[in-house]
Structure 1
């Protein structure tokens, strides 16, 4: 059953000195990135820092302390904030995108180890809490006392999460349990878990909500599931160790991040077939780069690939299948988020 509670003020509020009580109000709606250069944010899990990259110049313009072992990132719908899952702790920390000033630290409770994170257009934020075998919804995460609702998965290693546009359903990949779990966010139905490959980790819902895609790193496969029944519709062979899966915003293809090959597998979603491979570092440099998280640009023309071992992020031209640039980031760059 889901559990609702208010975040404790001690953890939920980290107000900046000298600012009034309305300093963190939502304010007027703004267009994400309006008046600013396209921006990439990177969570550096070994350096315990957060980086800000100007995508026009390719330069890191800020790198500030974040939290212990930071992982996934998500930007707010209005573009003013970026939220960080503190995998080495128990909190979701929220920073201003302009200055990387921390404005909130929302504690999820003992042993939370938050990892996957999604910030929805409604303003609600969802995060997996691997140590608690659950998913949290955080209502209005920039408020002084955000409201928390916890939904148990009952599975070990609930690592990544994706959420339906209507916010009635969420799905997790459960690494240790080797399952994918469907969670009814209305609280009506019990979680439904199915076994999918070996060590399922990457997960994404198609833009129209008709298909759930999962990559299983231990079996070198991607799976298309019916998001309602959780039945496997298609199985696709990928490159070696597909750690992440990301669907192009246009909804035509997905890519998997094949860590051991140093490349990407492109999957046509209409035919559920692998149609090409894109080399990022290639197999000879795969261990030197150790690519992890992948992220599409909003226009679907670029793919950003975090290379954790070399402290870089590769920018890939999707159409040409070539690496355009590499950005220097902090130590152990992993989680990625973007403002157009």
Structure 2
């Protein structure tokens, strides 16, 4: 049975600015000194650009319906947006947020999790199609789309191996994590991982796949080859996401219902710290979702979708340094150093 389907360039290019751009200054262009944070505002259907030197939102433009996850290109010129309310991955310039291309993944795609790898390809889940896509040379008119079925309901988030031979998804509806052979040599391998697995990250050495199951209040360490669960870690309430620090020493879970971050030591698979981003009483007022590390591992950015803010947390002290304004329903995050 063939598990890979290759498509032609199913692309609608667009070079004009998006209608409805907010009348704000553009700030620093891509490649200049100040680091930049991009936020997908799922309720506002907009994309925000925040200057991290000043903490100001310097630009906001209309995007697509219900935008979720983001990824920046290796050269820093583009940011890719997964249009969860539709069927496309849209590419925007990082300096002006002008729409450059809209890559259609086909009927009922509902793209969500997205990774832009150093070789230039984009990997993205297509939840409505029970699959993931690889988009080779996404900014080129000669781009190529390859679809890899997972066979699971709600393939939501993903991780990709450094050698690009394997990818893994968390499948909310099927309560599984799935290993996908990107070479096509073997069929997908799915295992049950708690209730509503969503967060996923591969350790930097490639030896452990970490998954957070929001309905179980747990994180799991899996063998990435066999998908066997090695260790289970109790977390705070509703660990929506899991992100590994660039240094590879710890992971954090974003515990939506109690407003905390659990710091998990990857060597011992134990929670070693808990960081309060908000209190259990105010957690639902802020509703933290996506988490993102700064490249130097010194800051954690937490999207607070109910309060339209992004909390900037100092990892060493655990203090919330500031709350950055974004658009309505900020969720997906991407950072440009």
TM-score of the superposed pair, with normalisation by structure 1 = 0.94
Q: Which runs of 5+ in 1 are unaligned?
A: 18-31
Between the aligned partners of 2:212 and 2:266, the Cα distance in structure 1 is 14
2:14 alignment counterpart:
14
Aligned equivalent of 2:144: 147
Q: CA deviation at 1:16?
A: 3.8
What is the RMSD of the two structures over their aligned residues, measured on CA atoms?
Answer: 1.1
Identify the residue that residue 214 of structure 1 maps to in structure 2: 211
How far, CA to CA, are the matches of 1:76 and 1:262 in structure 2?
31
Helix, strand or coil at the partner of 1:12 = strand
Any runs of at least 4 consecutive aligned residues in structure 1 with deviations exceeding 4 A, and if so which?
none
Q: What is the CA deviation profile of residues 245-268 of structure 1, one whole-angstrom value per residue up to 9, with x for unaligned ones?
A: 000000000000000010100000
> 1: CA distance between counterparts of 2:106 and 2:64?
16
Instruction: Work out the number of aligned pairs and report it.
Output: 324
* Match of residue 120, structure 2, among 111, 120, 123: 123
Q: How does 1:68-79 map to 2 (within 5 A)?
A: 68-79=65-76
Q: Using the alignment, how far apart are the partners of 1:254 and 1:299 within structure 2?
A: 14
Partner of 2:22: none
Q: Is the Cα contact below 8 Å between 1:308 and 1:332 reproduced in 2?
A: yes
SS in 2 for 1:334: strand
Equivalent-residue separation in structure 1 for 2:242 and 2:8 (angstroms): 33
Q: Which residue of 1 aligns with 2:273?
A: 276
Q: CA deviation at 1:133?
A: 0.1
Instruction: Report the Cα distance in structure 2 between the residues aligned to 1:306 and 1:142, rounded to whole angstroms.
Output: 28
Structure 1 residue aligned with 2:79: 82
1:7–1:108 contact (8 Å) kept in structure 2: no
Give 1:33 deviation, angstroms: 5.4
Q: How much has 1:36 moved relative to structure 2?
A: 3.3
What is the match of residue 2 of structure 1? 4
5 Å matches for 1:1-340?
1-8=3-10, 11-16=11-16, 34-340=31-337
CA deviations on 1:168-227 (whole Å, 9 max, x unpaired) are 000000001000000000011000000001100000001111110000000000000000
Taking structure 2 as the reference length, what is the TM-score of the superposition? Answer: 0.95
Contact kept in structure 1, 2:202 and 2:210, CA below 8 Å: yes
8 Å Cα contact 1:197-1:218 kept in structure 2: yes
Distance 1:75 1:121 in 2: 10
Task: Tell me how far 1:333 sits from its aligned partner.
Answer: 0.1
